[in-house]
Structure formats: C-alpha cells, structure tokens
C-alpha cells in the first residue's frame, strides 16, 4: 500500500504538521499524566480508523512503559478493569469529543462533569488539545491512506 500523497515531503503539509506537532507538545507541561495522554491518542486513532496513528501511539506507549494488557484493552475500556477512574473519564471524553457529530449538542454535561472530577483546568485544556490535535492528525492520515507498520519509536521527535 502506498499513500496517496507524501505528507512528509510536501512543504505545505510539512509546515502544517509542524504546527500540529507543536500544539501537541505544548500539553506536556500542563500536568496531564503521560499514560492518560497516550491512552487517549491511541483510542481516538482507533475510533477514526487511523492505522498509522494506532501503530505509532501503541509503539510509543509501549516504549514509555505502558503494559501490553492495557494497550490491548483500550478499544474495550468500558469492560476492562485495568484503567483508573480518571483514565476512564478521559477516554469517555475523548470518545464523545471524537464522535461529536454523532451526538446532538456535542459532549454531554455528564461526561464533562466526570472529567472535571479528575482533572484541573490546565489538565482539561491539555486533554481537549490532545483530542483535537490527534483528530486532525488522524484525518490527514486517513484521507491520504497513510500505510501503517513502518513507524519506529522516536522517528518524529
């Protein structure tokens, strides 16, 4: 499989991707736990069917020490017992925010209030930014049919 467009060599795409990456990096100082961030990146990518991002974020999470069991269970987190209440709240927010067009009114008050119980304002901003940027990355990759399997940890650092 070959991508419809080489995003890494296209100067316009490269410029845009650098801005998305910068936005994603800005959240690292907001106090959102790294494990939560990785779980959200992986789950949103699964929902959007972004094979490249699922490959990348599962490898990055494993490299950062995430267990194989938790990575395998992200797709079915509601039935899994290996996630904290805070992680579950983040995953629920990520799902509703990613599927925003499917729910009249967007993210429900119940999901938002549950996230607020576990995260302070800076962490919520970081969580929202993480969800928004990974959705943007997913769309780029899905639209151009970016193949998966060739990502190596750290190659986009």
What CATH number is attached to the domain comprising 117?
1.20.1290.10
* Rounded Cα gap, residues 111 and 97, in angstroms: 10
Helix (H) or strand (E) holding 29: none
| More confident call, 3 vs 156 | 3
Question: For residue 106, is it within any domain?
Answer: yes
Which structure tokens are listed for 106?
């967007």
Within a domain: 53: yes
Mean pLDDT, all residues of the chain: 92
Provide the whole-model pTM: 0.92
Higher pLDDT, 24 or 156: 24
Give domain status of residue 9, yes or no: no
State both tokens at 31.
């106090």
What span, in angstroms and rounded, lies between the C-alpha atoms of 100 and 97?
5
Residue 16 within a domain:
no
Closest to 90 (Cα-Cα) out of 56, 118, 58, 110: 118
Evaluate if residue 157 carries a pLDDT over 70.
no
* Furthest CA-CA distance within the chain: 45
pLDDT band of residue 8 (cuts 50, 70, 90) is confident
The sign of the CA dihedral 8, 13, 19, 21 is negative
Q: Is residue 64 assigned to a domain?
A: yes
Q: How many CA atoms lie within 13 A of 14 on its CB side?
A: 6
pLDDT greater at residue 70 or residue 105: 70
Query: In this structure, is residue 46 part of a structural domain?
Result: yes
Where in the sequence is the domain holding 129, given as residue range(s)? Answer: 34-144
What is the total count of domains within the chain? 1
Note whether residue 17 is domain-resident: no
Range 112-129 average pLDDT: 97
Question: Would the pLDDT of 137 be above 90?
Answer: yes
Residue 61 in domain = yes
And the tokens for 104?
């009249």
**Radius of gyration over every alpha carbon of the chain, rounded to an integer in angstroms:** 15
Burial 27-44 (b: 16+ CB within 10 A, else e): beebebeebbbbbbbbbb
Query: How far is it, in rounded angstroms, from Cα 96 to Cα 49?
Result: 16
């Amino acid at each position: 499989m070959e991508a419809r467009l080489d995003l890494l060599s296209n100067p316009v795409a490269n410029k845009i991707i650098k801005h998305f990456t910068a936005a994603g990096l800005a959240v690292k100082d907001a106090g959102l736990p790294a494990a939560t961030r990785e779980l959200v990146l992986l789950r949103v990518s699964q929902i959007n069917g972004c094979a490249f991002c699922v490959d990348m974020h599962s490898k990055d999470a494993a490299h950062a020490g995430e267990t194989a069991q938790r990575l395998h269970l992200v797709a079915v987190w509601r039935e899994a017992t290996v996630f904290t209440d805070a992680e579950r709240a983040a995953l629920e927010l990520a799902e509703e925010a990613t599927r925003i067009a499917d729910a009249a009114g967007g993210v429900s008050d119940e999901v938002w209030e549950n996230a607020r119980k576990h995260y302070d304002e800076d962490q919520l901003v970081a969580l929202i930014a993480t969800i928004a940027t990974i959705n943007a990355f997913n769309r780029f990759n899905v639209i151009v049919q970016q193949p998966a399997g060739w990502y190596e940890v750290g190659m986009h650092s």
